[in-house]
Structure 1
């Protein structure tokens, strides 16, 4: 949320609390039994103000606190990407490498969805996949997917091409879709820039590790739920109303206390 909008929302909530305070000050003109009504109204106004004005600001708290980690030198974030084979991986790598804050890009594995294997087909693939390409570090055949881990510095494009060529030779068809799993390491201060680059290509990190994500996770785990936060704001409204109700008795008492303290000092 924009900082100006956040400030406006906070000011609007303060204005609502001033209104609640003013209602409390009218207590001397009301019957005593109306005090509970005042407190009820104060709670309702606090809840409404919290839900509409403070909650959007509160939800942005993790991102605000993560700004500290983003501006710490030498902090790095690792983004785990699951990219469709239809995306130009080489173009993505070139763009990332040319962007300030780039650290590394590593293609770790590929997943190729197939049909539902029977036992014979599964056994066949388990036997043959390891012989297709020497760039395959390891592989796993599930009931309907072939997952291949790549050796270091071996590209997913080459791995997919070798499998596709073998598949076409054996089955006469082509592989229409596969998923490339990779790891992008960037400077924390440039995280937003790289997220924008990925988003422009329809890519969102499936997971992320680093100081920024850790701060976000820690903040999220300690935050109140939406209902709890709204009720807490209602409680603030009640406290403000009570201050308004008793302000006329508190201020004179404070003045008497201050006067007595001054007299003691003079002695």
Structure 2
């Protein structure tokens, strides 16, 4: 911007028709500077804003996890519970994908699912062939899957190929990154996160302009700086006259 301002101040040594070229160069330099130097900093703004919430004592984040039924849940729970910042870990429900149901098959599973296990009190059967079963307190995903798997093998003569476990992990906001690393090492990424930190990130992201708009804005700033440089002498004379008139008014 200093360079752009300096170019603008050379107006008195240029033909008037060159002013348009100076303004064009100023816009280009401002846009390039914004794209290569300021934009990377601007993109880090949500992370910078979230640092405040991360360091507020008592703030907690809720991470929603979609886990494969093949995962060792006990081992995962133990590792998470031993990590500083752990609050709680809860298995909430399971999803069992089968096949795309017709209306009769959908009605059948809606009827029979509650009779397979007395703990299956809250469930949903979708037309695309997914059974969603909510887990009661103190009833694990392992027990629920075993119960359904035993019934399925007895009725259909085959084993389940896949199921998904949904869990809710609550941690201290200041330790979110530690838990994300532990999960990432096991190939797990939270499907959703809620809490003060995530809210601040979402709010900041929603208020930020797009990359193109940001680059154009920095180009306009370059244009303004160049314009100030071009008319710097005139602006200086105006302010000197203004100060002089104010002093004369005070004397009166």
Deviates more, 1:250-259 or 1:127-136: 250-259
2: CA distance, partners of 1:93 / 1:198: 11
Give the root-mean-square deviation of aligned CA atoms.
Answer: 2.1
User: What secondary structure, in the 3-state scheme, does the structure 2 residue paired with 1:205 have?
Assistant: coil
Within the candidate set 171, 178, 197, 1:186 is matched to 171
Structure 1: segments with no counterpart, 5+ residues? 1-16
TM-score, length-scaled by structure 2: 0.91
Within the candidate set 137, 141, 145, 2:125 is matched to 141
Q: Are 1:87 and 2:82 counterparts?
A: no
**Aligned residue number for residue 41 of structure 1:** 25
**Aligned residue number for residue 147 of structure 2:** 162
Structure 2: segments with no counterpart, 5+ residues? none
1: CA distance, partners of 2:6 / 2:169: 56
Within the candidate set 53, 58, 66, 2:37 is matched to 53
2: CA distance, partners of 1:79 / 1:40: 49
2: CA distance, partners of 1:172 / 1:19: 78
Q: Deviations over 1:59-102 (max 9, x none)?
A: 11111101000000100111111112222222221111000111
2: CA distance, partners of 1:173 / 1:251: 88
Please report how far the alpha carbon of residue 248 of structure 1 lies from its aligned counterpart in structure 2 after TM superposition: 3.4
Give the total of aligned pairs: 251
User: What secondary structure, in the 3-state scheme, does the structure 2 residue paired with 1:136 have?
Assistant: coil
**Aligned residue number for residue 193 of structure 2:** 208
TM-score, length-scaled by structure 1: 0.86
Q: Deviations over 1:75-131 (max 9, x none)?
A: 011111111222222222111100011111111110111012223322222222112
Please report how far the alpha carbon of residue 193 of structure 1 lies from its aligned counterpart in structure 2 after TM superposition: 0.9
User: What secondary structure, in the 3-state scheme, does the structure 2 residue paired with 1:103 have?
Assistant: strand
2: CA distance, partners of 1:237 / 1:24: 10
**Aligned residue number for residue 29 of structure 1:** 13
